[in-house]
Amino acid sequence: MSKFVLFFFFVLTILTTKLPITTTCEWSSSLINEYNVTHVFTVDKMNCGNYSTIQEAINNVPDFSVEHTLVIVGSGIYSYTFGVFATEFIAYNISFKNTFPPPSQGVKGAQAVALRVNGDKAAFYGCGFYGAQDTLHDDLGRHYYKGCFIQGSIDFIFGNARSLYEDCILSSIAKPEWVGDGGCITAQGQELLADNSGFSFLNCYINVTGKLLLGRPWRKYAKVIFSTTFMSDVVSPIGWNDKLKDDSVNQTIFFGEYNCKGPGAIRTSPPRAPFGKQLKDDEAAPYISISYIDGNEWLHQV
């Protein structure tokens, strides 16, 4: 079994300051004390670390360890297929990019995902996710994204996780002709009423190009909420769409907005889709803090 998919505490961070040529390759990180780290591995493409590849570092994480492991990654571009299947994975200041060009309208099955997150209790701080269609597969588990940059055009955040996105930039590269047919931020996949999943966006910022929807259902009980978020005019006036083209689904999905601002949040002519809801204070309350993802129980308070 790959060590990467075992249940270990794992922190991945990128060193943002380049080492001088005369350096003795000394590494340091405040995360060592903040997380009481036991194992520290360094990765550098210029042979200034313990390993030259991230995979080598992951391979050397002790099996079944309950101790904290920190992997510090030196500045550079590393080419991998990356997925998170472990519990308690944390990443700081690193970007995940799928370099495949945006697909043409109607194309299915093209290379798309930049990162898949399948493990429970995963957190990302100051990270970037770059792609076009299906950029971030926020698949399963409870996840927290703080101060991240997420780029895409078609369903670029999708999956069945229960996630809180706080202070994130959602950067559209959608094309104007895709309005109502492809340009879309979310495709949430809650399939059963009993599933406790959904995407909550808090104090985020939506901008850049094209026209796109806030969300459309991937499954029957899709749940997406945008709260106190700035929406530029890239957001389509109708706001939401029914990807499944099923009137009964309009009765089961939960699409909500709460105290959002900006030209894309204006709901006059044409009005928002009827199955999207403007939430009251009490309706929005469960989604606007880390308690939505049980964060008080597992998120590290720095």
Which domains are assigned to the chain? 1-80 (no CATH), 93-295 (2.160.20.10)
Residues with catalytic function? 155
Mean pLDDT of the chain: 85
Q: Which residue pairs, CB below 8 angstroms and at least 24 apart, start in 99-107?
A: 100/131, 100/132, 101/132, 102/132, 102/133, 102/153, 102/173, 103/132, 103/133, 103/154, 105/175, 105/177, 105/178, 105/181, 105/182
CA 255/CA 243 separation, integer angstroms: 13
Task: State the amino acid at position 223 in one-letter form.
Answer: K
Q: What is the pLDDT of residues 187-209, one digit of tens each?
A: 999 988 888 999 999 999 999 88
Spans in the chain with pLDDT lower than 50: 1-10, 13-22, 179-180, 302
Which pLDDT belongs to residue 119? Answer: 94
Which pLDDT belongs to residue 177? Answer: 63
Q: What is the pLDDT of residues 95-131, one digit of tens each?
A: 999 887 666 655 555 557 999 999 999 999 999 999 9
CA 18/CA 65 separation, integer angstroms: 31
Which pLDDT belongs to residue 251? Answer: 80
